[in-house]
Structure 1
Amino acid sequence: MSGFPVTPAARDAARRALTDADPSVYWTSQPGRPPTREPLTAIDRVADIAIIGAGFTGLWAAIQAKEDNPSLDVIVLDQGRVGDGASGRNGGFVSHSLTHGLHQGVALWPDEAPVLEDMGRANLAGWQATLNRYGIEADFHLPGEITFSLSPHQDEGVREAYDLHLRHRNEVSLLSREAAYARVHSPLYRNGFFDPTVGLVDPARLAWGLAAAAESLGVTIHERSQVTGFEDGGGGSGAVVVRTDAGSLLAHRVIVGTGAWPLLRRTRFFVIPVYDHVLMTEPLSADQVAAIGWSGREGLTDAGNQFHYYRRTLDDRILFGGYDANYHFPGRIDPSLEQSASHTLLAEHFFSIFPQLDGLRFTHRWAGVIDTTSRFTPMFGTAMGGKVAYALGYTGLGVGSTRWGARVALDLIHGLDTERTRLAMVRTKPKPFPPEPFRGVGVRITRAALAREDATGKRNLWLRALDRVGIGFDS
């Protein structure tokens, strides 16, 4: 059952629009990608900190570690290239939320929610200051975000979200049907609310810029260096042996920021890989831009369980993604899974929202793996007696919050007692997902139940049972 209305005309427009779409990531296909960095082969010293993963978590950890103490020897290892993973494949939405949205933070940690909101705002200010300090050109701008209702039973949810944001000092605006249409011209919008604090960025250029900033501070980055495991106390040094497919190194401390790739056994029941699909259009003509309005270039989303996210780029393309989050038994991650019928579904939804854009073409179609937890928020912890720390599970909302997560990981490897490490969000783990085959069956049942709720507005017994035990599924 689908809660999204698709017209025959939208299906025809989608089929034509996808004809020549390139099966590649738009962001990392742009000119200006840095040359490939050398892989790790051998090292003749003990590094102070080894960071596994050159995505946002790893790069933010490297920068902040060197800013704290410029004398530290920091090495970053990645199995691919900077920006290859989720950090270079997302929609580029930058939120101050550390908890996958305000509603989730209030639901999980009502007493700590005000502190988490303040920390999130401070983190985003630091995020922007870092881009300015190092001259990172990643098309960052702050147009805000509109959440739209697309069905009668979403109307109340939009109003409740608006009221919640007001109670937590967020200066949001409620939009009537007429005001929503005045902002962006779609026949499906019923109402909405506008959050002016959400920014947009080119995620690949952000990753490349952070890597360059880290290197300017003396960080060494090795690409195409897949870590295969750890051992404690290498050579009697007390350091951690980090083994790769072609070499190894010793490090006094290690941070793991590998997202959905399960490097540590202890995290495998807490984080599952979910594929999220994305389309990018060709640049719109002036007439096409006029037909949809959207002069504010806000980031857009809708209020369903299965939601879309979309945005205009600065050269007037439209990125359109989300909705159909796919889990592949038994947690499989493979490039062959990146092209699927989900792109057709997205294209049909796109032309249902914007029927006036019939004739527009998609130039790129891709997917990325989201590291999701059962509570949708990241998890933190240590291994090997505190020598290894991890920060994983951002569930698709990590472009801004990974900077804060990296700071938590640094606190943990240094054994610091800070306001961050005392938070229940950091001290507690999400509920684990069940083992296979129950995990895969449960995900399928949950997806069907969420789709039914989107269609009917009614939350069934299965979803209410998951709510009671604190397990969810989201992208």
Structure 2
Amino acid sequence: MDPLISLTDAQPTPFWLDDPRRPRPTPALVGGTACDLLVVGGGYTGLWTALVAKERDPSVDVLLIEADEVGAAASGRNGGFCESSLTHGLYNGLHRWPGEIGTLKRLGQENLRGIEDTLTRHDIDCDWERTGSIVVATEPYQLDGLAEEAEVTARYGGKPVLLDAAEVRAEIDSPTFLGGLWNKDDVAMVNPARLAWGLRRACLDLGVRIHEHTPATALAEHGAVVAVRTPYGRITAGRVALATNAFPSLLPRHRPYTVPVYDYALMTEPLTEAQLASVGWARRQGFADSSNQFHYVRLSADNRVPWGGYDAIYHYGGRVRVEHERRPATYATLARHFFTTFPQLEGVRFSHAWGGVIDTSTRFCVFSDTSHHGKVAYAAGFTGLGVGATRFGAEVILDPLAGERTERTALELVRRKPLPFPPEPVRSIGIGIGITKWSLARADRNEGRRNLWLRTLDRVGLGFDS
């Protein structure tokens, strides 16, 4: 069957957001108001910031504003991999902060437990499953890399399970899988939109004021307070937390540190019992392959297969546009790759095809900073690994706003920002339309060997060695 036929009925909308349980948006803010803490942005970072602030001090008056609807952007469109890593994987963290990696790993595990505790405490139903995930090798040269990663992971307290071809295919059966590395403990699967909506409800229950369809248009300091403008009035706040991630920051000096990159995904119709049996997948792990241009894959609660990744598209000038969320050429590529991986699922149709924007930093993980004499703080740059790390990002926003010195604020990861991205047109030549994307694809075809361009980026710490 032509793989493209599988896309015939795919709805161009994110599967997770296409849910009858999607809450009605709260009214937009009309007129001026004041608060102790203003949170700008209603994705995971903003929701965790508002919730943790209220749990730390129930008396604080917290107001959250969101330009669209809570969870409508990356927080409601991602694959739902909630990982303990705060550093986009052990290797990236070890390369950049070798002296802190033990602390960062421990804090990441504590953060994941904190998420799980919050779900229990606030009775948030988001299809949480501690299945772990498998990194699979699809080329022979990748097997040595998995063995090395298993050794390093074990050295830092992990309990990875290295799988040969037969063992990995006994877990998830694909003729393309040659081996795997199963991380059983540090990854959970979650329905991303229901997580966002659950955090939203928890915030409201604790007294957080939430106004959706309320964009922030400007920010300025006025003595002891900060004023934020919206289309219908002005908000004055003692402290402001910025959680806009891929969208242009209210702080111009923050903007060079992130770029918006578009990621795409498909969702299958629910698999029948026979189809699921043909793949195995009894333990429901997520998986990703070992290529530079990788796929991320899992099972939903109703046994659909979300199939995402591979293409990461940057548009000249860092433009964030609704029209960039649809990319038929990428959907076609993803469909072909799906049936190459799972030929036994021939005939399965895709019900949804969508895209969304993520914030990318040059070090591939969260960074933070303060401004306006400590009255404003932000965290951003999660690079597609923010389902879990955004809770940590909320804490590194709140600690300095409260004037607190903590173990988190002492980290080099928190104290230092990444390298900024270069201005246009160098930015597009490097990461968007040309050299880097071509080089990564070439490395995937050439047994992982990195050309001079990629090796140069690795040496200057621009993140593409992650």
Instruction: Give the TM-score band, short-chain normalised.
Output: over 0.9
Bigger Cα displacement from structure 2, 443-452 vs 112-121: 443-452
1:275 is aligned to 2:262: yes
Aligned-pair distance for 1:465? 0.6
Provide the secondary structure at the position in 2 that maps to 1:280.
strand
Letter in 1 for 2:259: I
Provide the secondary structure at the position in 2 that maps to 1:380.
strand
Instruction: Name 1:367's counterpart in structure 2.
Output: 355
Q: Residues 207-240 of structure 1: CA distance to partner in whole angstroms, max 9, x if unpaired?
A: 000000011111001000011110111xx5x210
Q: 1:107–1:66: structure 2 CA closer, same or farther, 3 Å change rule?
A: same
Distance 1:474 1:296 in 2: 31
Q: Which runs of 5+ in 1 are unaligned?
A: 1-8
Q: How does 1:191-270 map to 2 (within 5 A)?
A: 191-197=179-185, 198-233=187-222, 238-263=224-249, 264-270=251-257
Aligned-pair distance for 1:155? 1.3
Distance 1:15 1:373 in 2: 34
Q: Which runs of 5+ in 2 are unaligned?
A: none
Aligned-pair distance for 1:473? 4.4
Q: Is the 8 A contact 1:274 1:326 kept in 2?
A: yes
Instruction: Name 1:129's counterpart in structure 2.
Output: 117
Instruction: Name 2:458's counterpart in structure 1.
Output: 467
Letter in 2 for 1:463: L
Q: Is the 8 A contact 1:40 1:248 kept in 2?
A: no
Provide the secondary structure at the position in 2 that maps to 1:119.
helix
Provide the secondary structure at the position in 2 that maps to 1:151.
coil
Q: 1:298 aligns with which of 264, 279, 285?
A: 285
Instruction: Name 2:157's counterpart in structure 1.
Output: 169
Aligned-pair distance for 1:43? 3.1
Aligned-pair distance for 1:246? 2.2
Letter in 2 for 1:451: A
Distance 1:153 1:176 in 2: 14
Instruction: Name 1:3's counterpart in structure 2.
Output: none
Q: Is the 8 A contact 1:276 1:322 kept in 2?
A: yes
Distance 2:189 2:276 in 1: 19
Letter in 1 for 2:40: I
Distance 2:13 2:326 in 1: 9
Distance 2:254 2:291 in 1: 29
Letter in 2 for 1:312: L
Q: 2:436 aligns with which of 442, 446, 470?
A: 446
Q: Is the 8 A contact 1:274 1:369 kept in 2?
A: yes
Q: Is the 8 A contact 2:361 2:383 kept in 1?
A: yes
Distance 1:214 1:155 in 2: 45
Q: Is the 8 A contact 1:325 1:474 kept in 2?
A: no
Q: Residues 234-280 of structure 1: CA distance to partner in whole angstroms, max 9, x if unpaired?
A: xx5x2100111222210000000111012221111110000000100
1:15 is aligned to 2:4: yes
Number of aligned residue pairs: 460
1:64 is aligned to 2:55: no
Q: How does 1:342-361 map to 2 (within 5 A)?
A: 342-361=330-349
Q: 2:22 aligns with which of 10, 22, 33?
A: 33
Instruction: Name 1:393's counterpart in structure 2.
Output: 381
Aligned-pair distance for 1:169? 0.9
Provide the secondary structure at the position in 2 that maps to 1:253.
strand
Q: Residues 423-468 of structure 1: CA distance to partner in whole angstroms, max 9, x if unpaired?
A: 0001111111100011000112111111111110211110111111
Instruction: Name 2:316's counterpart in structure 1.
Output: 329
Q: Is the 8 A contact 1:260 1:272 kept in 2?
A: yes
Distance 2:461 2:284 in 1: 36
Q: Is the 8 A contact 2:84 2:108 kept in 1?
A: yes
Letter in 1 for 2:235: L
Aligned-pair distance for 1:376? 0.2
Q: 1:91 aligns with which of 79, 97, 100?
A: 79
Q: Is the 8 A contact 1:92 1:200 kept in 2?
A: yes
Letter in 1 for 2:258: V
Provide the secondary structure at the position in 2 that maps to 1:146.
strand
Aligned-pair distance for 1:474? 8.6
Let me know the Cα RMSD of the aligned residues: 1.1
Q: Is the 8 A contact 2:359 2:382 kept in 1?
A: yes
Q: Is the 8 A contact 2:261 2:314 kept in 1?
A: yes
Letter in 1 for 2:285: E
1:318 is aligned to 2:302: no
Q: Is the 8 A contact 1:17 1:362 kept in 2?
A: yes
Q: Residues 379-413 of structure 1: CA distance to partner in whole angstroms, max 9, x if unpaired?
A: 10011111100000100001111111100100121
Q: Is the 8 A contact 1:36 1:81 kept in 2?
A: yes
Instruction: Name 2:449's counterpart in structure 1.
Output: 458
Q: Residues 96-127 of structure 1: CA distance to partner in whole angstroms, max 9, x if unpaired?
A: 00001111111100010000000011111111
Distance 2:331 2:154 in 1: 36
Aligned-pair distance for 1:414? 1.6
Q: What TM-score comes out, normalization by structure 1 length?
A: 0.95
Distance 1:121 1:258 in 2: 25
Letter in 2 for 1:159: A
Q: Is the 8 A contact 1:136 1:210 kept in 2?
A: yes
Distance 1:189 1:111 in 2: 35
Distance 2:274 2:22 in 1: 32
Q: Is the 8 A contact 2:126 2:191 kept in 1?
A: yes
Provide the secondary structure at the position in 1 that maps to 2:353.
strand
Letter in 1 for 2:294: F
Identity of aligned residues (%): 48
Aligned-pair distance for 1:78? 0.5
Provide the secondary structure at the position in 2 that maps to 1:41.
coil
Aligned-pair distance for 1:472? 2.7
Distance 1:410 1:270 in 2: 20
Q: Is the 8 A contact 1:329 1:440 kept in 2?
A: yes
Letter in 1 for 2:280: G
Instruction: Name 1:5's counterpart in structure 2.
Output: none
Q: Is the 8 A contact 1:232 1:241 kept in 2?
A: yes
Distance 2:428 2:208 in 1: 40
Q: Is the 8 A contact 1:51 1:58 kept in 2?
A: yes
